[in-house]
Amino acid sequence: MLYYLFQYLEAEYQVPGARLFEYISFRSAMAIILSLAISTIYGKRIISYLLAKQVGESVRDLGLRGQSEKAGTPTMGGLIIIFATLVPVLLFAKLENIYVILLIVTTLWMGAIGFIDDYIKTFKKDKEGLKGKFKVLGQIGLGIIVGGTLFFHPGVTVKEETNEPAPEKQELVDSFQNIREMGPEIKTTTTTIPFVKNNEFDYSSLISWIDPALKNYAWLIFIPIVIFIVTAVSNGANLTDGIDGLAAGSSAIIVLTLGIFAWVSGNIIFSDYLNIMYIPRSGEMTIFISAFAGALVGFLWYNTYPAQIFMGDTGSLTIGGIIAVLAVATRKELLIPVLCGIFLMENLSVVLQVAWFKITKRKYGEGRRIFLMSPLHHHYQKRGYHESKIVVRFWIIGIFLAIVTIITLKVR
């Protein structure tokens, strides 16, 4: 909203400084500052309110050290993250931008699913919360909305290079020798394959090899892939939210990395210099990402050990959904196994544990385990590691994976 206000002031009255709001970098900086302020200053008030309403965590006895002390800690802290993200976005982003709209819808959609789950656990005293099938249905619904929008919306396009130098950018040729004229915007389901030269892959090729005319029906392939990504990443974030600060810190690292991809992909100069896909209007996602990252870091103020509040499913499902949509929108979804390696490890540890238990139970008459407990962070707790040490080491791994992900911009 402030973006439109200052745009009007610049056009009508040439107010000094109003043009700053034209720059994504300025608006991103303002968004992250405001989101940090909201999450840290108003976060305390939200915690006090939740305590007054006795919205406390009901802790299951898993035999973990320090677990009993966490009983009664306020949950639904994801409300802090959602509020601290949306306010700066509404103030500083271009609200007609399709990518921003999708991210706002994702935040509210997944936030609502998580809130219902936390509400049932807290107020209905049902430790199971929202039934798993309803969570999955919600994730599938979001996947259909996101996949359908990205496939059919006319504003979701890319530009490809031609072989001619761009005459209007001739003055930049001395600095960037490889700048080429970009062709018209086109609709495509092309994505990026990491670590591969000429690394573009078109999902439509999975069906158009049968008959070129089937390319128009590529949505039959694309939308299920988006549904899978949304479901997998949101569940991965949900499983990672098990000890103080782990999910919020790991997610902040992932989101900031995606912010780099969104910024360079939406900038015609840097996308051309780095020889990556230029996605018009995608740079506006940087404002949302900045606000989201600020909200996560601000939430960590209260969520680090010993946590004063838990994010609950209100936060973890929202975080996973946003990360999934950002990855698909920037066409970097094939980097998710690397960038979201922490989520992947947590997911795999549960899948392997359950699968091995069932296999050995059928074979030997009793179930056996690979890990002392799953998800993976609980395994290390069982081995006697303090949860702060586990969290920091997972963050270090997350930073390493983020660096490897960023390196893919040039290493092909």
pLDDT in tens, 42-71: 988 988 888 887 666 666 656 666 566 676
Residue 319 forms part of a structural domain: yes
Q: What does the pLDDT read at residue 176? A: 47
Instruction: For residue 212, tell me if it sits in a domain.
Output: yes
Annotated binding site for Mg(2+): 238, 313
> Which tens digits make up the pLDDT trace of 199-219?
788 999 999 888 888 888 999
The total number of structural domains that make up the chain: 1
Higher pLDDT, 167 or 412: 412
- With respect to residue 251, please indicate whether it lies within any of the assigned structural domains: yes
Handedness of CA 105, 91, 268, 233 (dihedral sign): negative
In a domain, 229, yes or no: yes
The pLDDT of 13-20, averaged and rounded, is 84
b/e sequence 194-219, b meaning 16+ C-beta within 10 Å: beeeebeeebbebbbeeeeeebeebb
Model confidence at 107, pLDDT cuts 50, 70, 90, reads very high
- Cα separation, 194 vs 403, whole angstroms: 13
Q: Considering the domain boundaries, does residue 147 fall inside one?
A: yes
Is 176 within the bounds of a domain? no
**Is 30 contained in some domain?**
yes
Q: Which residues are annotated as a binding site?
A: 238, 313
**In this model, does residue 280 exceed pLDDT 80?**
yes
Cα dihedral 282/287/293/299 (nearest 10):
-140
What value does the mean pLDDT take over residues 130-154? Answer: 95
Which domain covers residue 99, as residue numbers? 1-51+73-161+184-334
> Is 328 domain-assigned?
yes
pLDDT in tens, 333-343: 999 999 999 99
Note the pLDDT of residue 8.
82
More confident residue, 365 or 296: 296
Nearest to 264, CA basis, from 24, 21, 22, 94: 24
Q: How far apart are CA 8 and CA 97, in angstroms?
A: 18
